Chains A and B, each alone.
Chain A
């Protein structure tokens, strides 16, 4: 199973959300998508989208304003 990483550091609304969705669409079921960014609202909103899409949120971490969200398709 593949692990896909996307870096949205420095990007603002709605790019982190949209790039996450683009990566999830390209991923195969079971693949893991990891998104990194520093747009504060996206840290809350990407998990909302994951729930709405019925996917599995694996982990949300933040260090020095940079968050890292892991999702299983």
Chain B
């Protein structure tokens, strides 16, 4: 089996995007291959300018909760989502975009950060990658 991690990024919540990218970057840093499948609300975060726009999954409180958490993160020195995404790309991670989500939500390729996306695909590609992965997560 390939030493590989495959993660479905279904949620667009800020904290869950952090979880996905941190696990992904950790796996890359430890020598694994990583594929991230962005679907549904997760795919919204790959829209141009959309990466930081997700709400907090709990205690969002119309943005107040997110503001407080972001302020605390800054204090603790947590990297931005943009840095994590750039690092993911630099370390050879692969990003796949769900084409059905694009149809349902009326997202066009030109709306997305096409330079970061290696492929537009469906469930078959996910299964093919997941079946040879030692880590698979749904976030």
Hey, which bits of chain A sit against chain B, CB under 8 A? 10-15, 17-18, 20-22, 25, 48-49, 52-53
Contact = CB atoms under 8 A, between A and B. Distances in A.
Nearest to A55: B31
Given A11-B77, A18-B29, A21-B91, 16 more contacts: A12-B76, A13-B22, A13-B26, A14-B25, A14-B26, A14-B79, A15-B79, A15-B83, A17-B25, A17-B26, A18-B87, A18-B91, A22-B90, A48-B30, A49-B31, A53-B31
Interface residues of B, number: 16
A49 B78 contact: no
Contacts of B31: 49, 52-53
The 8 A-B residue pairs with the shortest CB-CB distance, nearest first, are A21-B29, A17-B29, A49-B30, A53-B31, A52-B30, A52-B31, A14-B26, A14-B25
B28 interface: yes
Contact of B22 (A14, A25, A48): A14
Contacts of A22: 87, 90-91
Nearest to B73: A12
Contact of B29 (A10, A12, A14): A14
A44 to B, nearest CB: 13
Contacts of B28: 18, 21
B79 A11 contact: yes
Most B Cβ at <10 Å: residue of A12, A14, A52, A53? A14
A54 to B, nearest CB: 8
A14 B26 CA distance: 6
A35 to B, nearest CB: 12
Contacts of A25: 91
